[in-house]
Amino acid sequence: MKKLILWILIPIAIIALFIIRTLVSAGQFKTIESYSEFDCKPVEGFAGGEDIVIDHSTGTAFLSYTDRRLALLGQSFDSGILSYSLLESNPIPRKLEIVNKQNESAKLSKFAFHGIDLFNDADGRRLLYVINHESVNQPAGYSVIEIFEYKNNQLYHVETIKDKELRNLNDVVAVGPRQFYATVDHGATSTIGQAFENYLQSPISHVVYFDGQTTRHVAGGIAYANGIAVSHDGQTLYVAGTVSQKIYLYSRNLEAGDLTKKESIYLGTGVDNIDIDEQGVVWIGSHPKLLSFVEHSKDQSKLSPSEVVTLTWQNDTNNYKPKTVYLNDGSQLSGLSVAAAYRNRVLLGTVFESKFLDCTRK
């Protein structure tokens, strides 16, 4: 009888320990005390402005948005690219028309935009790289990279890059006119496999590199590879591991594109998209309570706390200093995914809500 009780209690204890470990690592026991170094105002009208990139030469921000709530329900949804001038006194977001080279509306099969990046090439062209999903709610859905030229307040469709390695893409960073890195956020290709991958915190997602001809795997061992960015000198690549709650730093081979891991920085929050400002400070949108974010994704009435962390290089100590500059219980903005900075302004985007925040540093 004692052995039977023991055989019953052991699995129960293991399951209980797993649940507690998951809750602790996901931040569910954290106390969120709202804090902000900014004064923020909401900008309404477009749902799911998940990623933002700023052209620092013009002060123009570009927001990639997709109404994911409708998309996940299998309903018709809106998706597009917004421009937003940070030099105007009263800026308004403008949805950019996508046209082909003949100045006609581009006939892309579907818009379901996700990560976005900007590359200013040697000819003065402003090229936007945008992830476009063939399906928002398919676990093994393939993605493409759309390249647009921003000109005359329009997006001219330049090219669609397809490759069998481009699946489950989350974010992209351009390093050349036809070269980019992208994060593949799951190694598993089924719904149940991805659920196990998330809750077991399996480090099987990775980074791919497209060299202009082919795509290859260049970095792995990451639990939910998410945001990605490159330093201004092009020598360091930053990758966010949402489930591992780390920022991974890699040295780049500028010719071949190969990566060598330098270090990882544990931040203790669900890091999402990465932006680098004019001074080289790294800005990271984050989810301090990951399971609350999961609940928020299913029910908009459930709040998901939001956090912005910066990493600033310290010459005296030869390392990065992390700092939380924004923390909110989700009442101001739930599911924050990106913080993009320009001078004294910071734009905060979100995965699901129908607004973003335009903030000014205090």
Positions marked catalytic: 114
122: left (phi over 0), alpha (psi -120 to 50) or beta: alpha
Say which DSSP state 142 is in: B
Residues 6 or more apart whose Cβ sits within 8 Å of residue 263: 248, 249
- Do residues 252 and 230 make contact, with C-beta atoms less than 8 angstroms apart? yes
Q: Tokens 């792995």 appear where?
A: 220
Query: How many other C-beta atoms are found inside a 10 Å radius of the C-beta of residue 245?
Result: 24
Alpha carbon 159 to its chain's center: 22
Q: CB-side exposure of 310: number of CA atoms within 13 Å? A: 17
- Do residues 346 and 339 make contact, with C-beta atoms less than 8 angstroms apart? yes
Residues 6 or more apart whose Cβ sits within 8 Å of residue 116: 51, 52, 53, 62, 63, 64, 81, 128, 129, 130, 131, 172
Coil/strand/helix, residue 351: coil
Helical residues (DSSP H) of the chain, grouped into ranges: 2-25, 68-72, 191-199, 290-298
Identify the burial level of 362 via C-beta atoms within 10 angstroms of its C-beta, where 0-12 means exposed, 13-18 middle and 19 or more buried: exposed
Q: Which of 228, 45, 50, 54 is nearest to 150 (CA)?
A: 54
